[in-house]
Amino acid sequence: MKTRVKNDKGVAGLTILLSLVTMLFVIGLLVMIFTLMGGNLRDATYDAGTGTVVNESGGYVNVTGYTLAGYGALNGVYTIDAVHNATDGDLLDVNKYALTSGVLTNATIVTWADVNVSYSYTYDADNTATDVMNATSTSIATVTDWFPIFIVIGAMVVLILLTVIIISAIRGSGLMGRESA
């Protein structure tokens, strides 16, 4: 029967270092999963908000367009209720303008220098649940800031282990007397 001699020369602390790398990988994976889950939970808990703007003035219905002042709400859906020519108060026909991504543009060759725009919109409004989920996801995501500290501590443990092994090897070789330590 053959006996195997364990030969671990030159791998002092390697198992600890590999364990540390594996631990950091698993922590990073869990942080990513919990951050994604938190983001999905936050998105699922928004309240439906509504807004109405009546006679927003200063708009120009031309080729470049006029960006609605109320544009930019989270996941906002905008609906034009009325567009009036500001000089004479005439209601513009729906076919003469278009709304794309919050920008009111001209759909014909005629432009209007000053219009009053009335519109309504719905959007996703924050609430206590979304604020808590946002704070939690952000906090969990900051765990990875500690990774360099874990790596330095792990390297210190490996160096201490290596020093202990070297001292033990020197003592075992007979180069030092047993009573000197």
Whole-prediction pTM? 0.56
Q: CA-to-CA distance for 104 and 82, rounded, in angstroms? A: 12
- In tens digits, the chain (181 residues) has pLDDT values of 666 666 655 565 677 777 878 888 888 888 889 888 888 888 888 888 888 888 888 777 777 788 888 788 888 888 889 888 877 878 888 888 888 888 888 877 777 778 888 899 999 888 898 888 888 888 888 888 888 888 888 888 888 888 887 888 787 777 766 565 5
Q: What are 169's strand-pairing partners? A: none
Q: Which helix (H) or strand (E) holds 51?
A: strand 47-61
CB–CB of 39/101 below 8 Å?
no
